[in-house]
Every structure is written in C-alpha cells, then in structure tokens.
Amino acid sequence: MITDGSVKQESEQGTHLSQLASVGQIAAGIAHEVKNPLTAVKGFLQLLEQDGRREYIQIAQSELDNALATLNNLLQVSKPDLENEDFQTIYLAVEIESILNLFQDKLYNIRLHTEFFHTNIPISGRKNQFKKAFFNLIKNAIESMVGIGTLTISHELVGNEVIVKIKDTGVGISADKIQLLGTPFFTTKEQGTGMGLTQVFSVVYQHGGNITVDSKENQGTMFTIKIPMMQQVKQKGVKTLNLHYKEKLSMKHFFFENRQAFEERLLHEAINVKDKIEEIHKIGNINLLSNAHKLVLFVLEERGHELISFAKQEGIAWAKYSLTLAFKLEWIQAIRRTVWDFLYNYDLLSKTEADRLAFYSLEKQINENIDQFLTYFFISYSNYKDELLATHQKMVDDLSVPIIPINREICILPLIGPIDSLRLAIIQDKVFSEIENHHIQSLIIDLSGITPMKHDATVQFIKLIEGISMMGCKTFLTGLRAEIVKNLISIDAGFKPMAKFKGTLEQALNDVINDTERKR
Ligand code: ADP
Ligand code: MG
C-alpha cells in the first residue's frame, strides 16, 4: 500500500490523494511518536535509579504502552490483512447509515444532510474496514466544525463506480497541509493520532478505489471516494441494474416504470437481433420492442389466452415474412433473461426477499408462460409454413399435369420432360379426379415433349391408360416417338385397344371433334 510516495497535486476535481506519503515521512512520524515515549521512559528510569519512586515506574509503563499503541496503530493500517476479514457483498449506503447512528449525540448542533441514490448497488469489500473508514471521515468532519455546521453525505452510482462524498463546513485544510493527509501520525489536533486518514486511504486502495479532497480554509472540506461496483454479480447470471422503485410499487408497475431501462437491457442481451430490429419492422411491420412489453405483461399477469393468441399471431407473421427463426429464439431468450434480471432487482429494491417457495413458484409460473409462448409460436409458425408448402406443392403439381379443356368433354394433356413413377402417380391422381369431376369423354395425351421413360414408369403409364379406359374415357395418344413405342410394346401390347394413336396433336383433335359431332 505504501508506495513511492509522491502525492499528486491538483487534479481537475480536488487534490488527488492517490498515494500514501513517502516512507521517509512515515519513518519520521514513527521515530517521532516512538522516540517521545522512549525518551520519557529513559528519563524516568534514571530518576528511578536515583530515588526509587513508585510513580516513576507507573509513568514509564504508561509511556511504553503509548509507544506500543503507536506501533500497533501503524501495523494495523499498513497490514490490514492481519484482521483477516473476508470480502463480501456490501452496500456502502447501509454502512454509512449504521455509522451515523454512532454520532447521534455529536450531531445535535450539526445539520445532517444525506443524498443517497442507487443504494442497491453492491460493492465487494471488507465490511468492518469500510465502517472504520467512514467512522474516521465522519469523525474528522464533525471535529472540523467545532460543534456547529452542516454535514452532507451523498451516495450514487456513476458509470461503474459507487461515489461517496463526505462534506463539512468546518475549518478546512491549508494548501500546504493537504499533501500531508494520509501520512501516518500527521495531525493538527492536540489529542490526534494522525492515523485516521491513513486507515481511510489504505481501505480505499485495497478495494481498487480512489480518494480525492477539496478543501478551503474556513469554508470546509469534501472527501470524495470512488469504489468500483461489484462485478461478480454478472457472473452469477443476475445483474444489479439502476432502476426506479417507489414504495409499494407492484411488479407490473415496476416494469412500466422502468420501460426504457428494460428495452436497453433487452437490446444489450440480444446482440444479434439488435441490428435487425428496423429490418424486421420494415419487412413484416413487427415492432419487436413493443411486442416484448406485451409478452412480459401477459406473462406476469398470467393472461394465458391472450398469451397464446399473441404467440399464434406472431408465429404466422414470422412465417409469412420468412423471418429468421434464430432471431426470434434469441429475442425470446433475451426477454427471459431480462425479466429475471428485473425480478432480481425488484426483490432487492422492494426488500420483499421472496422466500424459497415464493421464488420457485414465480420461477415456474414465468418460465412456463414463456415456454408456452414459444410452443404456440412454433406450432403456428410451422402450420403456416406447412400450409404454404402444400399450396405451393399443389401449384407445382397442377403445372406438371396441365389438363387443358377444349370443351366440356374433350381435354388435352401435353406432357413435357422426364416422366418417372413419382410424377406418374401425381398424373394418375389428377387425371382420374378430373375425369370424375368433369365427366371428360376424350383425353388427348401428347407425348411429343417427354424424354424416354424407364421400365417401371412405362408399366405405370400403361396402367394409367387402362384406368382411363375403365372410367369410360377415351384416350388418344399422340407424338409417340420410336423409343417410346419400343418401350411400350416390349412390355405389353395388350393395352393397344384401350387407346387411339395419332401422329400429331392436330390429327387427334380433328378426329376427336369429328367423332363427337358424328355422335350428336
Ligand atoms: P486525526 O484526526 O487524529 O488528527 P486523521 O488522519 O484523521 O488524524 O486526520 C489528519 C489531519 O487531517 C487532521 O488532524 C486534520 O488536520 C486534517 N483533517 C482531516 N479531515 C479533516 C476535515 N474534514 N477538515 C479539516 N481538516 C481535516
Ligand atoms: Mg481523525
């Protein structure tokens, strides 16, 4: 703790007391403080030698006690670890309050003014060391005011630091003395030990903090202490946030009250979604942030029906605009984490300190609700996608089996491209149902655009012709190329009577039309 010793001069806000005083100054201090009692002891021992008086022994003993006390004092502040105190989560405002109670009698003539903000922000520290430090600072402040004045103490979070200011309207410190603050044994008081500030500085540095002083003679002094807020909280998964809380605020209103902070926290959690918010809004007119508030409201108030219909609606919207599912998942997970951070802070601020049972029930309720949202979201998303897929499929199927009506009884089916058994199954379904529904009498199948069929496809094609015939519809086959004919007869020429064969589509059309007119 005691380093090279240069005490930094004026920084922009007061004198920066970043170092303890130099080893030389400390040594001088110790020498002075220990030399005095030892000199006295020596003198009294000489006197004792001369006339053996009892009171000299007592004086010598008490001077030796003084010397020992001085050394102890010094040891305590330079090696505070000797006290073996563990670091723990502490709230500085709480410690200050408890110390102020000790000064009640002294504060009789002194006006006390406290400005405490962000009192729920913890730091990690040695509790008793801080108590002692605040005791020393407040004691100095009160002593400087000689019984009358105003003591102002403030506590707030700025950035990642908890800042405590202790301000008095006392005698102040002259510029030349300011540099000596924190030096062991530096005191201007008759009964002073000069160890108070040394302890204060030591504690501040032990906790990675910093201390500055502003002082004007005959006006007053202000010590500013900055201690980094506790970071470990984050690793545990919950985060202490800087949120507003009023007495008896309900959980729901706590969320309303801190709407802005909720959004900020949520965006911080959902790193990948953050940049997509606008895009998603543009594509699907989906306002992720206001939807997040809605979800939280439904979850907290257990409005199950609304939650479900909201999830379904979101699922459809997400599917409709083909938004990336990963974003939705990340978003909901971020909402879940943010909700838990908020509940943790609500618990801290409202001091309800939910018991285990209450906590687990709440946990169950909230997680179940969010899970339910996700379930319904995904079901509705995939239903919508399935339906979309089915309609697309039907469109593709229709396109691949283009049955073109010439009139109410005659239709043409021009087949193009490769025909395999899968496609034939679709063709068969479509053809049979069209014949049945529209009472088609003659179907002209034009094969001029197909590639040669494989064996199993040819077998199935023959079955198709047989089926058409069984349904009382006449088949005209046109555009048969040599390759296809070879395939057909190699399997079974028996189907031949079931169809009529024409060279071209035009011939077939003429024939069919003449045929039907003749019948009338
Ligand atoms: P002590 O209080 O025993 O003198 P400290 O280390 O607490 O020792 O303080 C050292 C000296 O710093 C004091 O003697 C005093 O001169 C000066 N000092 C500390 N705090 C204040 C203050 N609030 N106002 C004026 N002087 C102060
Ligand atoms: Mg003091």
- Ligand number nearest CA of 200 is 1
Per residue in 359-401, pLDDT (tens digit) is 888 889 999 999 999 999 999 999 998 998 888 887 777 777 8
Give the lowest-confidence range in 231-235, 349-353, 389-393. 231-235
Give the per-residue pLDDT at 35: 76
Ligand 1 atom closest to Cα of residue 220 = 24
CATH number of 404-519: 3.30.750.24
Give the atom of ligand 1 at the shortest distance from the alpha carbon of 193. Answer: 3
Please tell me the number of the ligand nearest to residue 179's CA.
Answer: 1
Alpha carbon of 324 to ligand 2 centroid (Å): 64
405-434: average pLDDT: 90
pLDDT tens digits for range 163-199: 999 999 999 999 999 988 988 888 999 888 888 999 9
Q: How far is residue 474's CA from residue 43's CA, in Å, rounded to a whole number? A: 141
* Domain boundaries 82-235, corresponding CATH code: 3.30.565.10
Candidate of 174, 197, 215 to mutate for ligand 1, largest count of ligand atoms within 8 Å of Cβ: 197
Q: What is the mean pLDDT of residues 84-95?
A: 86
The pLDDT of residue 155 is 96
Of the options 1.20.1300, 1.10.405, 1.10.287, 4.10.640, the CATH number for the domain spanning 1-79: 1.10.287
Predicted confidence at residue 161, as pLDDT, reads 93
What average pLDDT score do residues 323-343 get? 89
- Name which of 140-149, 155-164, 224-233, 461-470 the model is least confident about: 224-233
User: What pLDDT is stored for residue 2 in this prediction?
Assistant: 32
**Segments making up each domain of the chain, as ranges:** 1-79, 82-235, 251-394, 404-519
Judge whether 442 and 473 are in contact, CB under 8 Å: yes
Distance 47 CA to ligand 1 centre (A): 37
Contact status, residue 205 vs residue 195, Cβ threshold 8 Å: no
Model confidence at 303, in pLDDT bands (50, 70, 90)?
Answer: very high
Listed range (73-87, 157-171, 260-274, 437-451) with the worst mean pLDDT: 73-87
pLDDT above 70: residue 10: no
Q: What is the pLDDT of residues 422-452, one digit of tens each?
A: 889 989 999 999 999 999 999 999 999 898 8
Output the CA 172–ligand 1 centroid distance in Å: 9
Residue 245: predicted pLDDT:
87
Instruction: Name 489's Cβ contacts closer than 8 Å, sequence gap at least 6.
Output: none
Mean pLDDT (whole number) for 79-106: 80
> Of ligand 1's atoms, which has the minimum distance to the CA of residue 186?
10
On average, the pLDDT of the chain sits at: 85
Q: Which long-range contacts (CB under 8 A, 24 or more apart) does 333-336 make?
A: 333/270, 334/266, 334/269, 334/270, 334/273, 335/266, 335/292, 335/295, 335/296, 335/370, 336/366, 336/367, 336/370
Residues with C-beta less than 6 Å from any ligand 1 atom: 136, 140-141, 144, 168, 170-173, 181, 186-189, 192-198, 221
Ligand 1 atom with least separation from CA of 141? 23
Torsion sign (Cα): 177, 181, 184, 187: positive
Q: How far is the CA of 133 from the centre of ligand 2 (A)?
A: 10
Q: Report the nearest atom of ligand 1 relative to the CA of 171.
A: 25
Task: Establish whether domains 1-79 and 404-519 are of one fold.
Answer: no
Q: What topology is assigned to 251-394 in CATH?
A: Globin-like (1.10.490)
Pocket test for ligand 1, best of 25, 137, 142, 187 (most atoms within 8 A of CB): 187
Ion ligand 2: residues, CB < 5 A: 140, 196
Report the alpha-carbon angle 88-89-90, nearest 5.
110
Helical (H) or strand (E) element with 317: helix 304-320
Residue 5 token pair: 């010793």
Confidence band for 224, pLDDT divided at 50, 70 and 90: very high
Mapping DSSP to helix (H, G, I), strand (E, B) and coil, where does residue 180 land? coil
Sheet with 15-16, edge to edge strand ranges: 15-16, 210-216, 220-228, 161-168, 149-158, 110-116
Element (H, E) at 60: helix 54-78
55-70 pLDDT tens trace = 888 888 888 888 887 7
Q: Where is pLDDT greater, at 46 or 483?
A: 483
CA atoms within 13 A on the CB side of 327: 19
